[in-house]
Chain A
Amino acid sequence: GENVEQHPSTLSVQEGDSAVIKCTYSDSASNYFPWYKQELGKRPQLIIDIRSNVGEKKDQRIAVTLNKTAKHFSLHITETQPEDSAVYFCAASLSGGSYIPTFGRGTSLIVHP
């Protein structure tokens, strides 16, 4: 089955810096890669996703890149703000089948004012 490794487990940055979280996956057939943000005590929320036919996707200060050859994808947050502090989860799945994504273990991002 699919295996997703997420790094780092904790990331501490100063406000205004950039943050990068990386995930690697094992199943080359995986073709859908969502990212979720979970603030303390709240539910996870989808913030951005990317499909295997696209190399990069941006939404304001967040972007996701995908390298199918190396089987890794990354979340990039620019100009970080304290409200970006949360746990971020990546996931990988094979779209179109029985959709059960494999989640990474999560990255705790702390943005210091």
Chain B
Amino acid sequence: NAGVTQTPKFRILKIGQSMTLQCTQDMNHNYMYWYRQDPGMGLKLIYYSVGAGITDKGEVPNGYNVSRSTTEDFPLRLELAAPSQTSVYFCASSHNAGGEDYGYTFGSGTRLTVV
């Protein structure tokens, strides 16, 4: 299994540009998440999905959009990039089995700079 794959690893955007961060998992996990991590800080939840076709906002959703058309893919869209969106973005997935939840598997991250 490749686990959770994120692309790209690095990206520089100009203010006002848009881009999509890709995230794919091959573990058949039902839950998927997007977090951002600012330097020296913890993880802030942007959006999450509990299954294909279902998405919901986290604590910092403004300026982002997501979709979940398949179990495997959970892309994050940035519209009109702003310097405040400079951060490292992590995609993660997890699953529930036998009524119990299990910990996250994180992707390797996307380091985004908006200039």
Contact = CB atoms under 8 A, between A and B. Distances in A.
Interface of A: 32, 34, 36, 42-46, 49, 51, 89, 93, 95-96, 98-101, 103-106
A43 to B, nearest CB: 4
B101 A43 contact: no
A46 B42 contact: no
Identify whether the interface residues of A are mostly helix, strand, loop, or mixed.
Answer: loop
Contacts of B94: 99
Nearest to A48: B103
Classify the interface of chain B: helix, strand, loop or mixed: strand
Interface in B90-109: 90, 94, 96, 99-109
Contact of A44 (B41, B58, B90, B96): B90
Interface in B14-65: 31, 41-43, 45, 48, 50, 56, 58
Given A45-B106, A51-B100, A105-B42, 18 more contacts: A36-B103, A42-B108, A43-B90, A43-B107, A44-B43, A44-B90, A46-B105, A89-B42, A93-B101, A95-B99, A95-B100, A96-B101, A98-B50, A99-B50, A99-B96, A99-B101, A105-B41, A106-B42
